[in-house]
Structure 1
Amino acid sequence: NTFGLAESEVRGKPLKECGIKWLHPDIAGEIESWLRGEQSSRRDNVPFEKAGTRRFLGITISRVNFPDEKGAGLLITGA
């Protein structure tokens, strides 16, 4: 688990409230703006911090719909 977060901790929360320590000035806002589009988006070398260590991540952001909930969410996959 890249971010050390369980789905139950973050599902339904705005990205900015999920506890990811991004080291990019407004990556959360940028990710949310990607969601206005219809396709998945990819960005490489996004800096973040985990356990006091600076790391870099390539991320893909996809919009997902949960049948039991209103509205769309997002799925962040990283490598």
Structure 2
Amino acid sequence: MKAPSIIALVVFIILAILHQDVWNWDNANLVFGFLPVGLAYHAAYSIVAATFWAIVMKIAWPTRLEEWADESDHS
């Protein structure tokens, strides 16, 4: 495995663990005076996860396969 693949796998596992936010289940505090902590956590988590997958897509996209498919179409 290449280093970027291993890093992506490790970050994926960390995100999977962080998705189970058991530490916020009984937290009744509000963020900005109106937003429950659990909802604010998941909003931030969603932004981090979307950014992570955008980076993974940019780094790990199979461009060689795409180039091969484009070459096949023109012949």
Q: TM-score, normalised by structure 2?
A: 0.28
Higher radius of gyration, 1 or 2: 2
Q: TM-score, normalised by structure 1?
A: 0.27
